[in-house]
Amino acid sequence: MPNDLTKSKIEELLEEREKIYGPAKPFYHCLSKINAEFIEFTSNHGHIEDSTAELIRMIFLKLLRLSVDPTHLDNYRDVSGYLELAKRIELREEDEPGKEDES
C-alpha cells in the first residue's frame, strides 16, 4: 500500500465509510454480538477449519454492511469470494502451506 495513509487520508476514509454504513460503534457492536454467538455455537457444534470460521466472520461483516446499504456491489463480490475460499478449504481444494507443487 502506498505511503499516502496520512492522518487526513485516514480521516477521509473513515468519513466516507460512515456516510455509507453509519457510525462505527453501533455497527461493530452488532458485529461483535453476531461473532460471539457464532463462536459459541461452533465451539459446541462446529466442525470447520479455523480459516473457514474466519472467512465466515468476514462474510458476517459484509452481510451487515449489505443490511445498511444493499446497493454497494463490492460487498456482494467480497461475500462470493469468501464463500469460494471457504468451499476450497473445506473441500481440500486450497493448497496447504508448505505443500510442494507436484506437477
- Model's pTM, two decimal places? 0.79
Q: Count how many domains the chain has.
A: 1
Q: Is residue 69 part of a domain?
A: yes
Query: Considering the domain boundaries, does residue 83 fall inside one?
Result: yes
Amino acid identity for residue 53 in this structure = A
Range of the domain at 30: 7-90
Q: Is residue 2 part of a domain?
A: no
If you average pLDDT over residues 32-44, what whole number do you get?
95
Please determine, for residue 95, whether its predicted confidence score (pLDDT) is greater than 60.
Answer: yes
Given this model, what pLDDT does residue 4 score?
66
Span 58-94, pLDDT tens digits = 999 999 999 999 999 999 999 999 999 999 999 998 6
Instruction: For residue 30, give the C-alpha cell.
Output: 452488532
The reply to whether 103 falls in a domain is no
9 pLDDT band (50/70/90 cuts)?
Answer: very high
* Domain annotation covers residue 84: yes
Which backbone phi and psi does 101 adopt, to 5 degrees?
-70, 120
In angstroms, rounded to a whole number, what is the distance separating the alpha carbons of residues 35 and 59?
11
For helices 7-21 and 50-68, what crossing angle results, to 10°? 70
Whether residue 98 is contained in a domain is answered as no
* pLDDT higher than 80, residue 22: yes
Decide which of 2 and 43 is more confident. Answer: 43
Residue 25 lies in a domain: yes
Whether 53 is in a domain gets the answer yes
